[in-house]
């Protein structure tokens, strides 16, 4: 992975001046960003900056109050998430939303809901190959998995939907450093081998900047800085706020 | 002893009806986490529709058409009525269920009147002899239908992707939506299927008693008890729950009279009144000892 090299500007996702609110509470005040095909883009920022909200708007969980969301050349603002999953836009949300009472395999089968049955069998075998621990625990209730295993399940499940754009919300949250490294190896592999485009939200910027081609920093619902990881590392205020 | 076996067997048969109604309730609970108190009255209404249809066509065709119409009624109700309260507190759902109860009871009564209608027996022929116990053919088939339906439900929820998607919609609607499950359609499907099963129950109950607008009142009550007893999210549990309620009712009905006179505490004018109290008492005891029912999965919230 050659971090820091900008990919060719073939844009898969473009947000243009997106505003969003929860009831009366304004969460986004004009967010604009581009995600180029085949790249990993990191969206950084403190707690409450609007990172998750941005992902929610993209995946259709929250309709934007103003502005446009363009995915693969089409305006998608306000479309239902289930509809967008069929277009390959897959969101691993905050808190992972694993179905704890379902078995590991049932969770994975749900991930493949939009796919044809014949394709699913092969895709499931591939995910089991990439995540042997999920195969080992396939009959267990998902709630019994450790945090890291649950994150793997969430990512593996998303892969079964054959994502073209994968939205990952804080994949490292609550995980031990060693496990975080493992998860990031997986993210690298997804980007490299599968060629999926990834928009990654993180509070801990260090790991995210290692895999990202480009990064944006969100503060109080606005993008304040953007650039390559090298540029961000060179930015004094970014270093002070987000990098240890 | 013969009486005992006969009462158990006939309790199993009655219990099968409760089981089928319980299946319909479980179906709705599995897909929407809600109870439909109007289930029985909607079933009665669709049974009346079947009755009307069967005046003009053979039983089998009327049966199938009624099931299809019931599916449509359920789906339309979900879309038109239930969806208005789906994000509201649970009590709104309870009120809507009661509203459906009253509405469909009134619709049946206003169209068909209070007088009993004769509903055709689908399974004709003499009684069946099983190990010295004779049971009516209708009852025997009823038991078969209950077993078959519960097996189908079980397989549907467990092995098909649509069944899995329905369960996912109930467990976490947003999560299911993010898996690409069109949850709006799933809710309609869940209500449609439940109403269709309710219609089957209604058409099987009607020949045993008579078809009146209030026919399903007690059936729903005990079906509800069966569903709770079975664990609310288990199709086999619903049928087993139904059988337990049915058998308990029967045994109490027969033996409470003997018991009371043996204890010399007076006599009972109508022992049948006691069987319902005891059946309900049993449910309270089970729930006190095992809140998730006999077959329900533990509800573990992981935050």
- State pLDDT tens for residues A205-235: 888 999 999 999 999 999 999 999 999 988 8
What is the per-residue burial (b if ≥16 Cβ within 10 Å, else e) of B169-189? bbbbbebbbbbbbbbbbbbbb
Closest by alpha carbon to B46, among B119, B99, B121?
Answer: B119
Helix (H) or strand (E) holding A205: helix A205-211
Helix/strand/coil for B302: coil
User: Residue ranges of the domains in chain B?
Assistant: 2-289
Q: Which residues in chain B have their CB less than 8 angstroms from residue A83's CB?
A: 182
Give tens-digit pLDDT for A24-46: 889 999 999 999 999 999 999 98
CA angle B78/A76/A110 to nearest 5° reads: 55
CA distance A91 to chain B (A): 7
Q: Of chain B residues 131-170, which have a CB less than 8 A from chain A?
A: 161, 164-165, 167-168
First-to-last alpha carbon distance for chain A, in angstroms, is 23
> Does the beta carbon of B182 lie under 8 angstroms from any beta carbon of chain A?
yes
A195's torsion region: left (phi>0), alpha (psi -120 to 50) or beta?
A: left
Separation CA A139–CA A125 (nearest Å):
15
Regions of chain A short of the pLDDT cut 70: 1-9, 244
**Per DSSP, what are the bridge partners of residue A19?**
A29, A66
ipTM of model: 0.90
**Per DSSP, what are the bridge partners of residue A201?**
A43, A169
Confidence (pLDDT) at A205: 86
Hey, what are B125's tokens?
A: 């022929």
Hey, what are B181's tokens?
A: 């499950």
Q: Which residues in chain A have their CB less than 8 angstroms from residue B178's CB?
A: 59, 61, 81-82, 85, 90-91, 93, 97
Structural contact between residues A5 and A14, judged by C-beta atoms closer than 8 angstroms: no
CA A205 to chain centre: 14
Structural contact between residues B50 and B66, judged by C-beta atoms closer than 8 angstroms: yes
A62's torsion region: left (phi>0), alpha (psi -120 to 50) or beta?
A: beta
Give tens-digit pLDDT for B170-221: 889 999 999 999 999 999 999 999 999 999 999 988 988 889 999 998 888 8
Q: Where are the beta strands (DSSP E) in B117-244?
A: 128-130, 133-135
Nearest CA in chain B to A146: B302
User: Residue ranges of the domains in chain A?
Assistant: 11-242
Cβ–Cβ below 8 Å for A100 and B168: no
Confidence (pLDDT) at B43: 95
Average pLDDT, chain B: 85
Q: Which residues in chain B have their CB less than 8 angstroms from residue A106's CB?
A: 164
- DSSP label of A181: H
Confidence (pLDDT) at B301: 35
Structural contact between residues A82 and B177, judged by C-beta atoms closer than 8 angstroms: yes
User: φ and ψ at A200, to 5 degrees?
Assistant: -115, 125
For residue B180, what are the CA distances in angstroms to A118, B37, B193, B303?
18, 31, 21, 23
Question: Which stretches of chain A sit within 8 Å of chain B by CB?
Answer: 59, 61, 80-83, 85-86, 90-91, 93, 97, 99-102, 106, 109-114, 117, 143, 157, 161
Nearest CA in chain B to A92: B178
Separation CA A148–CA B299 (nearest Å):
23
Within 8 A by CB and 6+ apart from B82, the residues are B32, B34, B93, B96, B187, B191
Separation CA A75–CA A85 (nearest Å):
15
Confidence (pLDDT) at A8: 44
- Its CATH class, for the domain covering A11-242, is alpha beta
Separation CA A90–CA A81 (nearest Å):
9
Confidence (pLDDT) at A9: 52
Confidence (pLDDT) at B197: 92
Domain B2-289: give its CATH code.
1.10.3470
Nearest CA in chain B to A117: B161
Whether residue B163 has pLDDT greater than 50: yes
Q: Find the CB nearest B172 among A86, A97, A157.
A: A97
Give tens-digit pLDDT for B48-64: 999 999 999 999 999 99
Separation CA A137–CA A144 (nearest Å):
9
| Crossing angle of the two packed helices B161-171 and B137-159, in degrees rounded to 10 | 80
Hey, what are B137's tokens?
A: 């053919």
> Would the pTM count as exceeding 0.90?
no
Tokens 């008693």 belong to: B209
CA angle B162/B165/B166 to nearest 5° reads: 90
Burial class of residue A125, CB neighbours in 10 A (0-12, 13-18, 19+):
exposed
Separation CA A97–CA A113 (nearest Å):
16
Question: Which of the two residues, A18 and B269, has the higher pLDDT score?
Answer: A18
């Amino acid at each position: 992975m050659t971090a820091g090299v900008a990919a060719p500007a073939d844009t898969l996702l473009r947000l243009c001046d997106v505003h969003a609110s929860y009831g009366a509470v304004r969460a986004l005040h004009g967010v604009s960003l581009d995600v180029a095909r085949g790249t990993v883009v990191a969206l950084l920022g403190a707690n409450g900056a609007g990172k998750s909200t941005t992902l929610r708007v993209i995946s259709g969980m929250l309709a934007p109050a103003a502005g446009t969301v363009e995915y693969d050349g089409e305006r998608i603002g306000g479309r239902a998430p289930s509809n967008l999953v069929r277009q390959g836009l897959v969101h691993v949300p905050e808190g992972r939303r694993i179905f704890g009472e379902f078995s590991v395999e049932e969770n994975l089968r749900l991930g493949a809901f939009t796919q044809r049955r014949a394709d699913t069998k092969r895709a499931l075998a591939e995910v089991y190959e990439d995540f042997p621990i999920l195969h080992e625990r396939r009959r267990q209730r998902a709630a019994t998995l450790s945090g890291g295993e649950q994150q793997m399940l969430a990512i593996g499940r998303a892969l079964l939907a054959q994502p073209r754009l994968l939205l990952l919300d804080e994949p490292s949250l609550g995980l031990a450093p060693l496990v975080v490294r493992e998860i990031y190896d997986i993210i690298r592999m997804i980007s490299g081998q599968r060629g999926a485009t990834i928009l990654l939200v993180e509070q801990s910027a260090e790991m995210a900047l290692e895999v990202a081609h480009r990064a944006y920093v969100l503060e109080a619902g606005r993008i304040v800085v953007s650039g390559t990881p090298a540029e961000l590392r060179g930015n004094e205020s970014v270093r002070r706020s987000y990098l240890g | 002893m013969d009486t005992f076996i006969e009462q158990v067997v006939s309790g199993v048969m009655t219990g099968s009806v409760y089981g089928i109604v319980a299946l319909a309730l479980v179906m709705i609970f599995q897909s929407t986490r809600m109870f439909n108190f109007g289930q029985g009255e909607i079933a009665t209404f669709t049974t009346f529709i079947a009755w009307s249809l069967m005046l003009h066509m053979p039983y089998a065709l009327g049966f199938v058409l009624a099931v299809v119409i019931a599916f449509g009624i359920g789906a339309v109700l979900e879309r038109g009525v239930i969806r208005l309260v789906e994000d509201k507190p649970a009590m709104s759902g309870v009120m809507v269920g009661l509203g459906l109860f009253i509405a469909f009871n009134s619709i049946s009564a206003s169209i068909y009147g209070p007088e009993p209608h004769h509903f055709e027996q689908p399974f004709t022929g003499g009684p069946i002899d099983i190990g010295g116990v004779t049971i009516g053919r209708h009852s025997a088939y009823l038991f078969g239908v209950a077993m078959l339906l519960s097996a189908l439900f079980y397989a549907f929820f467990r092995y098909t992707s649509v069944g899995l998607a329905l369960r996912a919609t109930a467990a976490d609607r947003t999560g299911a939506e993010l898996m690409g499950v069109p949850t709006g359609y799933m809710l309609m499907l869940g209500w449609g299927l439940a109403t269709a099963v309710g219609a089957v129950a209604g058409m099987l109950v009607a020949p045993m008693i008579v078809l009146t607008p209030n026919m399903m009142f007690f059936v729903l009550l005990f079906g509800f008890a069966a569903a709770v007893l079975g664990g609310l999210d288990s199709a086999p549990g619903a049928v087993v729950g139904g059988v337990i309620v049915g058998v308990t009712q029967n045994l109490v009905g027969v033996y409470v009279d003997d018991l009371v006179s043996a204890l010399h505490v007076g006599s009972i004018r109508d022992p049948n009144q006691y069987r319902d109290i005891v059946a309900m008492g049993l449910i309270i005891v089970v729930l006190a000892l095992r809140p998730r029912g006999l077959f329900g999965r533990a509800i573990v919230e992981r935050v």
